């Protein structure tokens, strides 16, 4: 049974034989290992060509900014899973990765889509301010949140977004998408009638698009970052287990209101 379209199966990533492995046309062992950092390798793998210095710099800063945010739900899910199944570190990492979904870590792509549309509409005439107002009002009318804005903890600003945008200015990496994000911010506050900070996903989307990352490539970045943070937490879990204690305290907070 073939689901979907018939056709040739092709991939352009890797070739390996008994003595050689090549990735994106480069010799993995003799060229890439020892020359590229992991971040540079990831960019080469993803973007087909070697990264610019700015792409590398900002991806490192973003991965560092996203990797760790304390005892988040996905860290808890991972630590509980390792406590229950210590034979399978990969299972605990997977349980944590599964929490990188649309509500928590999936917003960068949606923010990117909004910014890309905004930049395109602004370019057609009318400018960024008018396009920002139109897009923000459209979301408000549909009672949808603005991707890239708001944070459950950080107030008045998300310090990671502030830092990334400052670095973008400092290194002259900010372009049309960062400019549109900044045009959008006061309009969002006005329409929502309260201050919604630009969050890390908004900053990431704007800077990545200004650095020529394809929109769809944004989805994977928070997952890679969190994977590193999860592994650190799971190593701590092997040394100082708290997975079952977390579950115990959470359970104690739940009331029963059934029959």
Which residues between 210 and 239 bind its own copies (CB under 8 A)? 214, 216-217, 219-220, 223-225, 227-229, 231-236, 238-239
Nearer to its own copies, 72 or 187 (CB): 72
Q: Any contact of residue 247 with its own copies (CB under 8 A)?
A: yes
Query: Applying CB under 8 A, what is the total number of residues that bind its own copies?
Result: 129
Q: Any contact of residue 11 with its own copies (CB under 8 A)?
A: yes
Taking CB under 8 A as the rule, which mask of x and - marks residues 153-192 in contact with its own copies? Answer: xxx-x-xx-xxx--x-------------------------
Nearer to its own copies, 19 or 193 (CB): 19
Long-range contacts, stretch 233-241, CB < 8 angstroms, 24+ apart: 233/75, 233/78, 233/79, 233/96, 234/78, 234/79, 234/82, 234/89, 234/92, 234/93, 237/79, 237/82, 237/83, 237/92, 238/82, 238/86, 241/83
The residue range among 123-131, 133-141, 146-154, 179-187 that interacts with its own copies, by the rule CB under 8 A, is 146-154
Which candidate, 139, 141, 138, 142, places its Cα nearest to that of 150? 139
Q: How long a stretch of residues is the chain?
A: 259
> Within 38-97, which residues bind its own copies (CB under 8 A)?
38-39, 41-42, 45-46, 57, 59-61, 63-65, 67-74, 76-77, 80-81, 83-95, 97
In the set 102, 120, 137, 138, which binds its own copies (CB under 8 A)?
A: 102
Phi-psi region for residue 150, left (φ > 0), alpha (ψ -120 to 50) or beta? left
Q: Find how far residue 197's CA is from the centre of its chain.
A: 17
């Amino acid at each position: 049974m073939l689901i979907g379209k018939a056709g040739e199966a092709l991939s352009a990533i890797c070739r390996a034989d008994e003595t050689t492995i090549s990735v994106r046309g480069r010799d993995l062992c003799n060229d890439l290992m020892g020359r590229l950092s992991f971040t540079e390798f990831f960019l080469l793998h993803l973007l087909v060509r070697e990264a610019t210095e700015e792409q590398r710099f900002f991806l490192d800063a973003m991965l560092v900014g996203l990797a760790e945010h304390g005892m988040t739900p996905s860290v808890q899910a991972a630590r509980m899973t390792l406590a229950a199944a210590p034979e399978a570190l990969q299972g605990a990492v997977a349980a944590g990765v599964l929490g990188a979904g649309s509500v928590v870590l999936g917003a960068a792509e949606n923010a990117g889509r909004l910014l890309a549309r905004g930049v395109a509409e602004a370019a057609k005439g009318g400018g960024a301010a008018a396009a920002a107002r139109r897009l923000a009002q459209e979301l408000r009318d549909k009672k949808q949140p603005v991707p890239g804005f708001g944070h459950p903890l950080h107030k008045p600003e998300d310090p990671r977004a502030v830092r990334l945008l400052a670095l973008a200015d400092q290194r002259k990496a900010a372009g049309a998408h960062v400019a549109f994000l900044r045009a959008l911010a006061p309009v969002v506050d006005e329409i929502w009638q309260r201050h919604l900070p630009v969050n890390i996903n908004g900053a990431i989307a704007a800077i990545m698009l200004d650095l020529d990352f394809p929109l769809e490539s944004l989805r994977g970045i928070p997952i890679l970052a969190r994977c590193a943070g999860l592994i650190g937490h799971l190593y701590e879990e092997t040394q100082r287990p708290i997975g079952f204690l977390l579950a115990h305290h959470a359970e104690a907070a739940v009331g029963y209101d059934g029959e």
